[in-house]
Structure 1
Amino acid sequence: MPFIDIRTTRTVTAAKSEALKSRIGGIIDIIPEKSEAVLMIDINDKCNLFFGGKRQECCYMAVNLHHEAPMENKKEMIEKLFVIVASELEIEQDNIFITISEFPYWGAGGHYI
């Protein structure tokens, strides 16, 4: 199950949340064995984020994956995430930051998987 935590200074309407969810869901299968059916996304808007010592429009995304993914797949996904977030939230790509964390241990549905 991938979990993507999105934090932005922007206000994100219900329609924008749905668009982000759908567009990200449409690319998550870039990562082998991942699909929208098991994707969880948390969108936190109006965050009090500072970048470069000052408040400015920006976005931070933390992508959490169960198991390690090939580097070329992670690179492709990150590049597409930049485009999606810049487009949907109208934030310059220079002010978007993305990290990927990979975990060998994960629990879901009451079980260790």
Structure 2
Amino acid sequence: MPYMNVKTTAAIDAGKRETIKSELGKAIELIPGKSENWLMVSFEDNSIMYFKGSSERPLAYIEVKIFGKSSKDAYENLTKAITGIIHKELSIDPDCVYVIYEEISNWGWNGTNF
């Protein structure tokens, strides 16, 4: 049950959204037991964001929420993959990308909880 929210100062057209969504779908498999089959992705582009007091460089903030827990190594590998995808597709330097993780113990779907 993973969820990713991509918030960025960049504009993302429909083609880029589809590409990023697909690449994130592959990347989520770096977390054992997770797959694109359960991945939900949302996008917030053209956001007003500041980093280090400036809005001059393009920025991205990626939230990753998963049902359950994973290892530090898995998160490390996923962060590397996510920042690579964002750099390749949106030309945002990895040092301008934050990735945060939240492990969820209660997750509802289809009228019930896991």
TM-score bracket, normalised by the shorter chain, equals over 0.9
**Residues 1-113 of structure 1: matches in 2 within 5 Å?**
1-56=1-56, 57-113=58-114
Q: For residue 33 of structure 1, report the CA deviation from its aligned partner.
A: 1.3
Task: Give the number of equivalent residue pairs.
Answer: 113
Percent identical pairs in the alignment equals 28
| Whole-angstrom CA distance in 2 between matches of 1:35 and 1:112 | 19
| Whole-angstrom CA distance in 2 between matches of 1:27 and 1:62 | 14
Q: Where does the alignment leave 5 or more consecutive residues of structure 2 unmatched?
A: none
Q: Where does the alignment leave 5 or more consecutive residues of structure 1 unmatched?
A: none
CA displacement 1:30-69 (0-9 Å, x = unmatched):
1111110100000110001111112131000010011111
* RMSD over aligned Cα atoms: 0.8
Q: For residue 70 of structure 1, report the CA deviation from its aligned partner.
A: 1.6
Which segments of structure 1 move beyond 4 Å, counting only runs of 4 or more? Answer: none
Equivalent AA in structure 1 for residue 84 of structure 2: V
Normalised by the length of structure 1, the TM-score is 0.96
| Whole-angstrom CA distance in 2 between matches of 1:59 and 1:2 | 19
